Chain A
């Protein structure tokens, strides 16, 4: 079981408040992603849950048990660090076996569990190697293996893929998602990459300056961002925003429209603009259009578009997809 509840969790380092007060409910078996810009407190929040940092005030409970003052090991959680934090002087086998050894598990049981984890993670052939003799992806799998053998009630990941190259990141992303489906264990995953958040999460928690901006499923956040921050953070390329007269026309202080929800025409439309840079991704083309009275907007066009730099185009937002925000940046529904 792994149901984690945070109530009014607050963390200060000396005079600086990093997390003013967070309430959050994480259900058993959920894949929760903490996402937000650098320095917003994602790692701190994860480390508070892990017990590596002491909460300044508030309560953390796991499956209804108050663990606020408990040592990390007692909480029954496993953590995968960004730097992997493998023990460099131990073989892969001993790295994975370490938590079991510390728990005083029987040798035969340890062996069975380590081999099982190695099989799941494709590490069987590397068990005798030292971490220094492995690739980044393999090290990451060892770190995950070390977490799996403990059968924790939840896994905590702190930007586990950020040291890997783009291709490997894609594969490992898939592997972690598959692992989650196979094990069905609660996972909390920290990243500043909104693509990772969108693709992996059951539930995304968007953080900014230690506050929760919004909690919801990926599609929730994509379709119904609660405020301008979430609107700008989720989705790639970013949502286009317009203020002033263009927004007032739709009865809002600010309007937002995603690049994929703008109709592109060479004949007529609501907004007029000139094509600047065209980014060809193959499947799609993203046109950066300089729109009169609004400024730069990104528009998604088909992969094989004939539009070129300098062409005049007309844009029309799909009205049902238009996001309206009031003066304070909150969404108007």
Chain B
């Protein structure tokens, strides 16, 4: 009897889990489906069966340059991630291995900046960017993306570094490792999985960031998020083309995510030896 109940529960939970996953994935799926519809099909109501036309993709690419925003997205997400890591690794390191009574407060304060709605600082930041000539520049946007993701990067790294047990570092010290020996042979190899998964996550976040990337750019440094947005305004709405543009914009990051999922999970589960 107990067994029957647990089987039924299993079935229910499986169905529930699949439903939630499908629900979350559905917008993406529908975008892809819409992207291979004709514009007529796209506005004629809900349908899951497209006519599999690739016209939209051709049109999107001839109407607008895809490669420039693509290059911008790649450069911006990689560069901002790199800069964020350069700042966050030593910061998180210091907070994890020699915490002071204030460390927790600083971490909380950093996180609290993420709780503020971005619009609240839109005007001052826009004006500053304008005055400093940073509008529509890769430099300005890299700076912006670095800053908005930095709190999360520091937090993630801090959590990973905290997982490294102090006794291992003490063992290294007993074994005669100098500070540099400790960092090179023990700390870094143990921290790399955490750094790698932080890096991957941050690339994804930076790639998808659309509030600032759309507002602080026009053409020169506009990444793919702005590329999508540009299809939603000028000549009225063209759902199919918009979907094709979106698909082109998210495809690279989806592919990267797919291939690095092992690394992402490994980074999350890499524990020390007990």
Point out residues on A near B: beta carbons under 8 Å: 50, 52, 71-73, 77-79, 81-89, 98-99, 102-103, 131-132, 139, 146, 150, 163
A-B contact pairs, 30 of them (CB 8 A): A52-B170, A52-B174, A71-B173, A72-B170, A73-B176, A73-B177, A79-B174, A81-B167, A82-B167, A83-B274, A84-B273, A85-B165, A85-B168, A85-B171, A87-B172, A87-B185, A87-B186, A88-B272, A88-B273, A89-B189, A98-B175, A98-B185, A99-B174, A99-B175, A99-B176, A102-B176, A103-B176, A132-B273, A146-B171, A150-B176
Query: B101 to chain A: closest CB distance in Å?
Result: 11
* Residues of B contacting A139 in the complex (Cβ-Cβ under 8 angstroms): 273
* Residues of B contacting A50 in the complex (Cβ-Cβ under 8 angstroms): 174
Instruction: Verify B173–A73 contact, CB threshold 8 A.
Output: yes
Give CA–CA (A87, B190) in the complex, Å: 9
Give CA–CA (A132, B272) in the complex, Å: 9
Instruction: Verify A81–B171 contact, CB threshold 8 A.
Output: yes
Query: B257 to chain A: closest CB distance in Å?
Result: 25
Instruction: Verify B273–A86 contact, CB threshold 8 A.
Output: yes
Contact of B252 with A by CB under 8 A? no
* Residues of B contacting A132 in the complex (Cβ-Cβ under 8 angstroms): 273
- Are A88 and B190 also in contact (CB < 8 A) when A73-B176, A83-B165 are? yes
Chain B contact patch, size range: 20 to 34
Contact of B181 with A by CB under 8 A? yes
Give CA–CA (A328, B99) in the complex, Å: 44
Other A-B pairs, 6, CB within 8 Å; known A89-B190, A98-B185: A73-B176, A83-B167, A88-B190, A102-B176, A102-B177, A150-B176
* Residues of A contacting B177 in the complex (Cβ-Cβ under 8 angstroms): 73, 98, 102
Give CA–CA (A102, B165) in the complex, Å: 20
* Residues of B contacting A163 in the complex (Cβ-Cβ under 8 angstroms): 274
Query: B273 to chain A: closest CB distance in Å?
Result: 4
Tell which of B170, B174, B189, B273 touches A131, judged by Cβ atoms closer than 8 Å: B273
Instruction: Verify A85–B170 contact, CB threshold 8 A.
Output: yes
* Residues of B contacting A85 in the complex (Cβ-Cβ under 8 angstroms): 165, 167-168, 170-171
* Residues of A contacting B170 in the complex (Cβ-Cβ under 8 angstroms): 52, 72, 79, 81, 85
Query: B240 to chain A: closest CB distance in Å?
Result: 50
Give CA–CA (A44, B93) in the complex, Å: 25
Instruction: Verify B176–A79 contact, CB threshold 8 A.
Output: no
Give CA–CA (A77, B181) in the complex, Å: 19
* Residues of A contacting B174 in the complex (Cβ-Cβ under 8 angstroms): 50, 52, 72-73, 77-79, 99
Q: Give the residue name and chain of the A residue nearest to B175 (CB).
A: A99
Tell which of A71, A77, A79, A89 touches B171, judged by Cβ atoms closer than 8 Å: A79
Which residues 143-174 of B have a CB within 8 angstroms of A?
A: 165, 167-168, 170-174
Q: Give the residue name and chain of the A residue nearest to B169 (CB).
A: A85
Give CA–CA (A78, B173) in the complex, Å: 10
* Residues of A contacting B175 in the complex (Cβ-Cβ under 8 angstroms): 73, 98-99, 102, 146, 150
* Residues of A contacting B190 in the complex (Cβ-Cβ under 8 angstroms): 87-89
Give CA–CA (A99, B176) in the complex, Å: 6
Instruction: Verify B173–A72 contact, CB threshold 8 A.
Output: yes
* Residues of A contacting B168 in the complex (Cβ-Cβ under 8 angstroms): 85-88
Give CA–CA (A83, B274) in the complex, Å: 6
Query: A224 to chain B: closest CB distance in Å?
Result: 36
Q: Give the residue name and chain of the B residue nearest to A87 (CB).
A: B186
* Residues of B contacting A87 in the complex (Cβ-Cβ under 8 angstroms): 168, 171-172, 185-186, 190
* Residues of A contacting B274 in the complex (Cβ-Cβ under 8 angstroms): 83-84, 163
* Residues of A contacting B272 in the complex (Cβ-Cβ under 8 angstroms): 88
